Amino acid sequence: MHDIRAIRETPDAFDAALARRGLAPVSPQILALDEARRTRIHAAESAQADQNRASKEAGAAKGRGDEAEFERLRTLVSAKKEEMAAMQAEAKALDTQLTDLLMALPNLPFDDVPDGTDESGNVELRRWGTPASFDFTPKEHYDITGVQPGMDFETAAKLSGARFVVLSGSIARLHRALAQFMLDTHIEENGLQETWTPVLVRPEMMLGTGQLPKFGEDSYETTNGWWLVPTAEVTLTNIVHGETVDAATLPRRYVAHTQCFRSEAGSAGRDTAGMLRQHQFEKVEMVSITHPDESRAELDRMTACAQSILERLGLPYRTIVLCTGDMGFGARRTHDIEVWLPGQNTYREISSVSVCGDFQARRMNARFKPQGGGKPEFLHTLNGSGLAVGRCLIAVLENGQQADGSVRIPDALHPYLRGKTILNADGSLG
């Protein structure tokens, strides 16, 4: 959500920032609603003052026996009470309109975010690793011989429909090992606090991180009004919802491994084969809650945390900064990390790390007390995948595949598999 005072002070700058995201000027509408709301508030306050004054005068008239003046003032008190209530109701309705408008507007990009209308405007920041050369045509994950016994889409379709998968045996074990490896790395080496959170949340938690009201169709709502989380960003960020924390406790760095649920409403026909795009999947999510002065540096730190997982697994990747036209709703700057998938002969997103500034904190009313004293300020929030577990499984399988249908397992996962180093062509671990 945006700061209405900043819009009042620099409306042209606000519109210019939104224009970079392809939106038309909206400050005139915002300022008109704001002015009308403030006018009603002032009118309500004036009516209340008149009511209070008339009430005192009515008491005095009653005391001196002036019944005519008393009745006139009593009528005035009643009229001012009705006027005050009407102005308060109008102010509340205008405030709702203003809040709804502000809630529907995306965050403002940092000045150093490249301009662009779509993903073609993204800018590569770095590459790591060299894609392997194969003496055979590499397959996509679901076509690898050793993978097929443990990756069942037909049974999943029978159970739940399209875009679900049943993992079993060695593949389920490898999937679990990846999640454990990610958690241990983030906790022991990257200094994040392991956290376990619900996957069902109240709607105000989805509102706080920006999934509602605009993107409700992308998630699943239960019959009792709870929502299934699309990512643990929702729960981890909302830990500070409505709180005022001490600056000395910052930064707070969380990591959680959860099930995630997305309707994929806008992805009809995309990535329908395999388990690249699923309605239910697992992620290891990172969230940082920081002082405003530290959030930009924290973005680079979190990006490095995500990259370190891929490097430890020996998976080639590239990191890009998203342009204004490809950036998510709540972000001020986003770094996408794309892992190399030889089966598709391309890089695909496996992590997205974003700094949101105070955008989410304003929606959540989350603040901190400055250490030197003074008025509480809004926190800054960041989130990022560290990593998407299923997509990482795909990358491990495709990059490690061999001509006989077996898969070499990265060294970093051997301890989690009790020394097993290979997925054999028959689906067993050896």
**Average pLDDT of 186-211?**
98
Q: Which of 21, 295, 391, 406 is catalytic?
A: 391
Give the separation between CA 266 and CA 218, rounded to whole angstroms: 8
Annotated binding site for L-serine: 231-233, 262, 285, 383, 385
Quote the pLDDT of residue 51: 96
Q: Which of 277, 296, 318, 408 is catalytic?
A: 277
pLDDT tens-digit series, residues 36-78 = 999 999 999 999 999 999 999 999 998 999 899 899 999 999 9
**Average pLDDT of 255-276?**
86
pLDDT greater than 70 at residue 266: no
Q: Which of 352, 367, 398, 406 is catalytic?
A: 352
Cβ neighbourhood burial of 31 (10 Å; 0-12, 13-18, 19+): middle
pLDDT greater than 70 at residue 269: no
352 labelled catalytic: yes
The pLDDT confidence band at residue 200, using thresholds 50, 70 and 90, is: very high
Give the separation between CA 335 and CA 320, rounded to whole angstroms: 6
Q: Which residue has the tokens 């005035």?
A: 76
pLDDT tens-digit series, residues 294-353 = 999 999 999 999 999 999 999 999 999 999 999 999 999 999 999 999 999 999 999 999
**Average pLDDT of 79-92?**
97
Q: In what order do the strands lie in the sheet with 220-221?
A: 200-201, 227-228, 220-221
Quote the pLDDT of residue 388: 98
- Tokens of residue 102, six digits: 């502000």
Quote the pLDDT of residue 273: 87
Annotated binding site: 231-233, 262-264, 285, 349-352, 383, 385
105: Cβ–Cβ under 8 A, 6 or more apart, which residues? Answer: 2, 18, 23, 26
What is the set of domains in the chain, with CATH numbers?
Answer: 4-103 (1.10.287.40), 119-423 (3.30.930.10)
- Tokens of residue 297, six digits: 């540096």
Annotated binding site for ATP: 262-264, 349-352
Give the separation between CA 415 and CA 312, rounded to whole angstroms: 13
428 labelled catalytic: no
- Tokens of residue 95, six digits: 């405030």
pLDDT greater than 70 at residue 4: yes
pLDDT tens-digit series, residues 356-390 = 999 999 999 999 999 988 999 999 999 999 999 99
CA distances from 427 to 51, 154, 397, 409, 430 (A): 82, 18, 12, 13, 10
Q: Which of 20, 40, 262, 301 is catalytic?
A: 262
Quote the pLDDT of residue 89: 98
- pTM exceeding the 0.85 threshold for the entire prediction: yes
* Mean of all residue pLDDT scores within the chain: 96
Quote the pLDDT of residue 272: 78
The pLDDT confidence band at residue 267, using thresholds 50, 70 and 90, is: low
pLDDT greater than 80 at residue 151: yes
- Tokens of residue 375, six digits: 């008025």
What phi-psi label fits residue 242: left (phi over 0), alpha (psi between -120 and 50 degrees) or beta? left
8 A C-beta contact, residue 303 and residue 311? no
Quote the pLDDT of residue 345: 97
Quote the pLDDT of residue 264: 80
262 labelled catalytic: yes
pLDDT greater than 70 at residue 268: no
391 labelled catalytic: yes
pLDDT greater than 90 at residue 10: yes
pLDDT greater than 70 at residue 105: yes
Give the separation between CA 209 and CA 244, rounded to whole angstroms: 17
pLDDT greater than 70 at residue 409: yes
